[in-house]
Structure 1
């Protein structure tokens, strides 16, 4: 999966530590991204729009949808920009891994049920697209905190924590073993890892 991410990022002209724009990747693949509000003129009811954008905003984030042989992404524009970026990257993960559309079913509670393995794979892909392993390693060894990572890569602090956790453990172990960098862990600053 990391090889696919590297290829996709390189196709956009990005190096291993450059910030990533999921909307640019969607555009490169010819996938339009629409907000739920864009669909009001195409049959989405004002009630449904209000439910997902003002009522239960956590109920739905984004979806990759088949339209014949084409694909589109519909996103919940009520979410923060950082969340929307991770949502789009997640949906692109499904696309890049060529996940089939036949595994989404409606459960008894009328909520969608997903293939857990495919969801984990798409989440992994989103993480690697937005904060690749190479960047996470460098930032961990340089002692970047979650706020700094989030600001540099346009993600939430929770997303930054998810991507940085393993690399921080590696950096801390190396600091203990070799006696370097320990004092810098957790300091806040801005900028990108170069």
Structure 2
């Protein structure tokens, strides 16, 4: 998945240490992105649009939807841009990994239906698309905080923290090892 992310970033001319625009990657693959509000023009009821854009905005961020052999992404435009970018990257993760559709988005209990393994894969790939591990390692060794990572890669501080967790542990271990070696000199 790391190689796939690097290839996808490269196809847009985005280096490992630059922010990726997930909307540009959607365009590259012919995946159209629609907002919930834009679904009115396709016959969505005002009640449904209001539910996701005003009443229960935290319930749902984005979805990859099959339409024949094509795929579209519907996003909740009420979320902040950084969250929307990570939601789009996550849905692109499903698309790029060619995850199969179960045919059901909501079960009889009106709760989302998903495969935990596929969700984990899409989350991992979205992380590699937006803040590649190689960049996270460099940021960790430079001592960047979550705010700096978020600013450079145009993600939320929570997303930055998620991507930086492992690399920070590696950097701390390396620093400890280096300090111990210097004491022994």
TM-score (norm 1): 0.90
* Matched residues, number: 180
Q: How much does 1:140 deviate?
A: 0.2
SS of the counterpart of 2:65?
Answer: strand
Q: Output one character per residue of 1:81-129: Cα deviation in whole Å (capped at 9) or x when no partner.
A: 0000000000000000000112645334211210000000000011000
RMSD of aligned Cα (Å): 1.3
Q: Distance in 2 between matches of 1:54 and 1:106?
A: 20
Report matched runs for 1:1-194 at 5 Å: 1-102=1-102, 104-179=104-179
Judge which range, 60-69 or 19-28, deviates more. Answer: 60-69
Q: Distance in 1 between matches of 2:18 and 2:179?
A: 29
TM-score (norm 2): 0.94
Return 5+ residue gaps in structure 1 as ranges: 181-194
Q: Find the counterpart in structure 1 of residue 183 from structure 2.
A: none
Q: Distance in 2 between matches of 1:23 and 1:108?
A: 33
SS of the counterpart of 2:63?
Answer: strand
Q: Distance in 1 between matches of 2:103 and 2:123?
A: 16
Q: Distance in 2 between matches of 1:106 and 1:162?
A: 27
SS of the counterpart of 2:73?
Answer: strand
SS of the counterpart of 1:28?
Answer: helix
Q: Distance in 2 between matches of 1:166 and 1:129?
A: 16
Q: Which aligned runs of 4 or more in structure 1 are off by greater than 2 angstroms? A: 103-108
Q: Distance in 2 between matches of 1:161 and 1:128?
A: 13
Which has the larger share of helix?
2
